Amino acid sequence: MKKLMSANWKMYKTLGQATDTARELAAALGELPADREVLVFPPFTAIAGVAGAFAGRAGFSVGGQDLYPAAEGAFTGEIAPAMLLDLGCTWALTGHSERRHVLGEANEFVGAKTAFALDAGLNVCLCIGETIEERRAGRLEEVLTGHLAAGLADVAKDIGPERLAVAYEPVWAIGTGEVAGPADILAAHAYVRAELEKLLPSHGAEIRILYGGSVKPENTGEIISLDNVGGVLVGGASLQASSFSRIVTA
């Protein structure tokens, strides 16, 4: 399966800025390498602009950074899967550490979002990962098990591997400049793979596991060459087309 090279633009970029960056990215990349896919998660206000900039370009997709697990209703400030699909999204992000640790989302709520988005026709990238306190306490496997078990609890056991990705993001490496070393990434991704094979026996061996956390053009090549690394989820280094295009082709 192709490497999924993903960008999370978080709460950055106006509509015009995001559209310009998407156009620059598409122009810089030209025809994608045969083994790569590009996925961008812009702010909600810029989704349609980015989708338009990518229109007709094979291998380029757009996703929503969040969603609410309901078709519609009195949920002020939230967004439904059908709204994301209407804007041109084919993916959604669930369980990002900022949703868990800044906004207080529980594992079970992340799981509800994941299953609802998949049932609604979106592909999902489920984020998991430990804090530095959890790692120092030797709780890495416990945390990953909890995130995966709850996050995938209501997902169909035979979900196609193209519909789901899991992004391992050690929280202590997000936006800090710190990067998990190759041994750390290998160990975490091997554990995630084993858990996926247990939880989703039909296709757990094929689901892409992305690495996220201070990914840069300079370290991407080493990271994606590691076993069980099916791509990356990039924050700050994806905000400029010149930087992210180098990551995509690393």
Q: Which of 105, 130, 169, 195 is catalytic?
A: 169
pLDDT of amino acid 220: 97
Question: At 134, is the pLDDT very low, low, confident or very high (cuts 50, 70, 90)?
Answer: very high
Question: What integer is the mean pLDDT of 91-100?
Answer: 96
**What's the CATH class of domain 3-248?**
alpha beta
Nearest CA to 29 among 6, 57, 52, 64?
57
Which stretches within the chain are classed as H helix? 15-29, 47-54, 81-87, 97-101, 107-119, 132-136, 140-151, 182-199, 217-224, 241-248
Nearest CA to 174 among 250, 245, 237?
237
Share of the chain above pLDDT 90, in %: 94
Q: Which of 37, 96, 98, 130 is catalytic?
A: 96
Reduced 3-state DSSP string for 128-191:
ECCCHHHHHCCCHHHHHHHHHHHHCCCCCCCCCCCCEEEEECCHHHCCCCCCCCHHHHHHHHHH
Q: What is the pLDDT of residues 51-63, one digit of tens each?
A: 999 999 999 999 9
Q: What is the pLDDT of residues 12-63, one digit of tens each?
A: 999 999 999 999 999 999 999 999 999 999 999 999 999 999 999 999 999 9
Q: Which two tokens stand for residue 196?
A: 């996926």
Dihedrals phi, psi of 177, to nearest 5 degrees: 90, -15
pTM of the predicted structure, to 2 decimals: 0.96
pLDDT of amino acid 89: 98
Domain boundaries of the chain, sorted by first residue:
3-248
Concerning whether 96 is annotated as a catalytic residue, the answer is yes
Concerning whether 147 is annotated as a catalytic residue, the answer is no
